[in-house]
Chain A
């Protein structure tokens, strides 16, 4: 069974440029998460989707970040414009369903973003 797929794996951009990340979750997983991980820190949730619905986007900086999951499968996270502080690893994860706390989530390989 294929795991969570993310692209690109690496991205280097100049500040004020836009950038987009793509994620395809494990087949059959209804819940999709976007996290940001800074060096030496644990992943921090940006947004969580249940199917097409964003059910927790309280930590998403909405002035510059946006996300979509139009058909309830793959998802795109966008930053426009990027700032130096956005340099981090952006992780996508998925789990079967989030109707209880007893769900294991699995991470993709991540996208390492460098903003110059």
Chain B
């Protein structure tokens, strides 16, 4: 089992719709969770961090964390073609370390 799992996609959504990106992690003691956006040929850009169970909203983005289910998600409301990118989930604090472990990313395509 991979430590951080994401569906590679592509996930295609129409413009204006809600895009839902999911991530599961294997180490129950993981403490912090991050979403990065990576455009083709560019480096990852941090868009959200979440540390506690529940929802965290920032503009059109909402991160959701459920530690009991070992699940973290990212919702993008009113999706725009400019949101088309790969979204990487990262987990920190597994096994008592300060190591960030990344998933392989989900490719999102927002169709105009």
Residues in A lying within 8 Å of B, measured CB to CB: 33, 40-45, 48, 56, 89, 91, 98, 100-110
A40 touches B32 (CB 8 A): no
A102 touches B43 (CB 8 A): no
9 A-B residue pairs with CB within 8 Å? A41-B105, A42-B90, A42-B105, A45-B99, A45-B100, A91-B43, A107-B43, A107-B46, A108-B43
Output the nearest chain B residue to A58 by Cβ-Cβ distance.
Answer: B99
Q: Which 8 residue pairs are nearest across A and B when measured between Cβ atoms?
A: A42-B102, A101-B93, A101-B31, A107-B43, A101-B32, A101-B92, A98-B98, A110-B43
In chain B, residues 20-64, which have Cβ atoms closer than 8 Å to a Cβ of chain A? 30-32, 34, 36, 42-46, 49, 51
Chain B interfacial residues counted at CB < 8 A: 26
Beyond A42-B104, A103-B98, list 8 extra A-B contacts (CB 8 Å).
A40-B104, A43-B44, A101-B32, A102-B51, A103-B32, A104-B46, A107-B44, A108-B43
Residues of the B chain whose Cβ atoms lie less than 8 Å from the Cβ of A89: 43
Choose one: B45, B98, B99, B105; the contact of A107 (CB below 8 Å): B45
Q: Is B110 engaged at the interface, CB distance under 8 Å to the other chain?
A: no
Choose one: A42, A48, A102, A108; the contact of B103 (CB below 8 Å): A42
Residues of the B chain whose Cβ atoms lie less than 8 Å from the Cβ of A102: 31-32, 51
